[in-house]
Every structure is written in structure tokens, then in C-alpha cells.
Amino acid sequence: MKLYIVGFGPGGLEYMTNEAVSVIKEADIIVGYSTYVEIVKEYFPEKKYFQTPMKKEIDRCRWAIEETLKGSNVALVCSGDSGIYGLAGLIYELTKDYPPFEIEVVAGVTAACSGGSVLGAPLTHDFAVISLSDLLTPWEVIEERVKMASKADFVVCLYNPSSKKRHDYLQKACDMMMEYKKKDTVCGYVRNIGRMGEEYHICTLEELREVQVDMFTTVFVGNSNTKNINNKMVTPRGYHI
């Protein structure tokens, strides 16, 4: 028996690693957030599934652990990478309440990588990844991270940039970044990475402030050297050409 914590990438089968596909095929039960289960189920309809809605992550993880301890091989699936805003950490935190069992984390393609490839090459130099969701992190902490990453001239990749309850968080983040970054800083955003309806846009930081995005969008804010080359977002590494 083993609990696999599987990052399946942005959604499309072509983004899943061979290891992720192999583990999902071999697992007795697939566990995940409802939206993620529906994505995976399209490619593995014959499997047994258990799903929970948003904000039931602890229940979901405990169920996966308990089924593993009963003797099943369980795959707990997460979009992107399971260790980047995923559930790998939570599983390890919960293990203190259970007897020892085997865990394997299966890496996946996170949105910074898959979205960056759609935009061009925005992450060729140092970058920071920050989630704008304040469900688990105080907004004051997020503010400080956004400001310090901008002050240090990192390319900034923003996860969870907006929701119905947080409709103006991206606007707030842009305002903070414009304290340190120029208004014409090259930016980009990608919606539905690797899924039906995928689209991307290149804009300036000032223009980004007015954009309405959702939880299925990943936002990229360039550094002082990032360029728009043929409608692609490119951050030079520093080669002398």
C-alpha cells in the first residue's frame, strides 16, 4: 500500500508526466478536488474516484490516508505540481496522527512553467511565485511579499489572482508593484492553460491593472529588462548578443 501525491499539470494529457500517468493507472482509488477529478476522469474513466469540494482539503487528505492504511494504493491528485500550492505538505503534516505508511510525491508541471511556455520565455531570469489568495495567508503578508519581490526586480508570477470575493486583488497588487516597477513593464497572462479555451495576452503593468481575470488565470509581471518580442514575453538571461 502506498499513497501517491500526484501533480498532473494544467489539465491536458500531453502535460502529464509518464510517471503521473503510470501512477494514476496503477492506483486503486483516485482522490481529489471535484474540478480536478473531472479533468482526470476524462482520461481515466474506469478508475474509482473520491472527491470533495473546495475548503475540504483536510477531509480529503485524511480520507486518502485512511484508505491507504486499509491496504489500497491511493493517488491524491493536484493540478500543476502537488508540492507547489498543492497538498503534499498537508499530507506530511497529518502523518503525525497515523501509523507509518509509504508516501511518494510525483512531480507535475506547475502553471509558472506551462503558462510561461505559452507566453514565450518570461522566466529566463530570477523570478518569484506569489499566490494572491488570502484564504490561508494573511493579506498583510501577501502585500509585503509582492512589494519586496517588486523592489528586488524579480519577474513575478501570480497564482490565484482573483475570485468573486477577491475581484480587486490583482488591481491592488498592480498598484503595489507600480511603486517599484515602471508602468510600461511588460506583463502577460494566460487563461485555461493546457485546457479548452486557452488564451494569452501581452500587456503593460498599467494595462494589467484594468484586466478582469479569474482563478483559472496565471499572471506574469516582467522585470526591468523583460521585452515584448513579436507578441511574446521574453526576459533576457544576460547573454551579450
Q: What does the mean pLDDT of the chain come to?
A: 96
Decide if pLDDT at 241 tops 90: no
Is the model's pLDDT at 240 over the cut of 90?
A: no
Q: What is the pLDDT of residue 34?
A: 95
Q: What angle do CA 159, 199, 227 make, to 5 degrees?
A: 75
pLDDT at residue 54 in the model: 87
The whole-angstrom separation of Cα 70 and Cα 212 is: 46
Q: Who wins on pLDDT, 86 or 241?
A: 86
Do residues 39 and 45 lie in contact, with contact meaning Cβ atoms separated by under 8 Å? no
For 32, 83, 142, the CA distances from 80, given in Å and listed in that order, are 13, 9, 21
**Structure confidence at residue 163 (pLDDT):** 82
User: Looking at the DSSP assignment, which residues form a beta bridge with residue 72?
Assistant: none
Contact 122, 220 (CB under 8 A): yes
How sure is the predictor about 186, in pLDDT bands with cuts at 50, 70 and 90? very high
Q: What is the pLDDT of residues 139-173, one digit of tens each?
A: 999 999 999 999 999 999 999 998 888 889 999 99
Q: What pLDDT shows up at residue 165?
A: 82
Q: Which cell numbers in the block locate residue 76?
A: 491524491
Chain segment 32-88, per-residue pLDDT in tens? 999 999 999 999 999 999 999 988 999 999 999 999 999 999 999 999 999 999 999
| Contact assessment for residue 127 and residue 156, using Cβ atoms and an 8 Å cutoff | yes
pLDDT surpasses 90 at 236 = yes
Element (H, E) at 190: strand 186-191
pLDDT of 198 reads: 95
Global pTM?
0.94
**For residue 23, what pLDDT is reported?**
97
Helices (H), 181-222: 205-208
Cell of 143: 502585500
